[in-house]
Amino acid sequence: MSTLLEINNATLKFGGVVAVNDLTFSVDEGEVYAIVGPNGAGKSTVFNLISRFYDPYAGAITFDGHNLLDRNADAVADLGIARTFQNIELFDHATVLQNLLVGRHRHRNTNLVQEMLFTPKVRREEKRHREAVEEVIDFLDLQPYRDKMIAGLPYGVRKVVELGRALASGPRLLLLDEPASGLSVEETQDMRWWIDDIRKQMGITVLMVEHDMGLVSGVSDRVLALADGAKLAEGTPQQVQSDPAVIEAYLGAGAA
Ligand SMILES: Nc1ncnc2c1ncn2[C@@H]1O[C@H](COP(=O)(O)OP(=O)(O)OP(=O)(O)O)[C@@H](O)[C@H]1O
């Protein structure tokens, strides 16, 4: 299996806090890789480094052989990296369909003048975007919500729409920031099937941050446990969950 994403010796400090500390890991094409860790371990910061919201203080990040540190956040999306956010970021006063069309933004090859004149090229492109989005709507069973405003939708549905918006961009790597947070047991189970299908049917590589160990063990090939910004353990979900250092850090020594 080939390596898709590589983080090498990345360090990021916020004032005196070392949020990510000399961290090295890599994600293989086609796998589901999870990052777990207690609050403040540095998980979101790792995502923000990959998305290029933050610059590392030291280290290297490459995606499919491209140096990500040479690129800004938009250019990273253009390479095929899409993400969801811990606090869902959708346009509340737009429909599900409109939000998913926003996910197609990186594929737009027409300019404003062409769009205003609605040229044949624009029409063809529009059709292509619609088809891609309709596929995602079908895939995630979002038909009943297609023309509904985001603001009126239950939290669990909004979470699926956010996943859909990221998928609509046609990514090679999907970054999921706590996909199960705030979901019921049934919704978490559904999320597990979506993630499984995204990998198996769409062939998309998934890197996720997640607290729900049931979801992590159910869906991940490999898990990285972080503590204080550094790697505590890495391996299969079973290996990581039974690692004494992980048990100590996450559950307290008494829980072993
Ligand atoms: N913008 C920031 N400015 C200053 N400190 C920050 C900033 N972002 C994160 N930190 C600090 O960096 C450390 C890592 O934070 P981070 O949010 O990455 O952890 P996390 O593992 O994602 O936590 P959680 O599970 O609560 O989301 C923490 O000590 C946090 O307080």
Q: Please tell me the distance from the alpha carbon of residue 188 to that of residue 184, in angstroms, as a whole number.
A: 6
Q: Which of 43, 47, 53, 250 to mutate to test the pocket of ligand 1 (most atoms within 8 A of CB)?
A: 43
User: What pLDDT is stored for residue 242 in this prediction?
Assistant: 92
Q: Do 245 and 234 meet the contact criterion of CB atoms below 8 Å apart?
A: no
Q: Which protein residue's CA is at the shortest distance from atom 14 of ligand 1? A: 42
Element (H, E) at 33: strand 32-36
| pLDDT recorded at residue 208 | 97
Cα 136-141-142 angle, rounded to 5 deg: 75
CATH code reported for the domain at 1-74+205-256: 3.40.50.300
- pLDDT for 134 equals 94
* Chain-centre distance for alpha carbon 231: 20
Q: What integer pLDDT is reported at residue 123 of this predicted model?
A: 73
Atom 30 of ligand 1: nearest residue by CA position: 40
Express each pLDDT in 37-51 by its tens digit.
Answer: 988 999 999 999 999
Contact 234, 25 (CB under 8 A): yes
Distances (CA, A) of 90 to 169, 207, 234, 235: 14, 21, 33, 34
Reported in sequence order, the residue ranges of 77-144 that DSSP labels E, i.e. its strands, are 81-83
Please name every residue paired with 7 in a beta bridge, in sequence order, or none if there are none.
25, 61
Q: At what angle do helices 185-200 and 155-168 cross, to 10 degrees?
A: 10
pLDDT reported for residue 110: 60
Which pLDDT score is estimated for 114?
Answer: 60
pTM, 2 dp:
0.90
Nearest residue to 130 via CA among 92, 104, 112: 104
pLDDT at 62: 96
Distance 234 CA to ligand 1 centre (A): 21
Question: Is 39 strand, coil or helix?
Answer: coil
State the Cα–Cα distance between residues 147 and 149, nearest whole angstrom. Answer: 7
Per-residue pLDDT at 255: 46
How confident is the model at residue 253, as a pLDDT? 45
Which stretches of the chain score pLDDT less than 70? 105-120, 122, 251-256
Nearest residue by C-alpha to atom 3 in ligand 1: 14
- What pLDDT is stored for residue 126 in this prediction? 77
Q: Where do the structural domains in the chain lie, given as residue ranges?
A: 1-74+205-256
Q: What is the pLDDT of residue 103?
A: 75
List pocket residues of ligand 1, CB cut-off 6 Å: 14, 17, 19, 37, 39-45
pLDDT digits (tens, 9 = 90+) for 198-243: 999 999 999 999 999 999 999 999 999 999 999 999 999 999 999 9
**CB-based contacts of 241-245 (< 8 A; 24+ apart in sequence):** 241/213, 241/217
By CB atoms closer than 10 A (0-12, 13-18, 19+), residue 147 is exposed
Between CA 48 and CA 12 the distance in angstroms is 11
Neighbours of 244 (CB within 10 A): 10
Q: What's the CA-to-centroid distance between 56 and ligand 1, angstroms?
A: 14
Q: DSSP assignment, residue 136?
A: H
CA of 17 to the centre of ligand 1 (A): 9
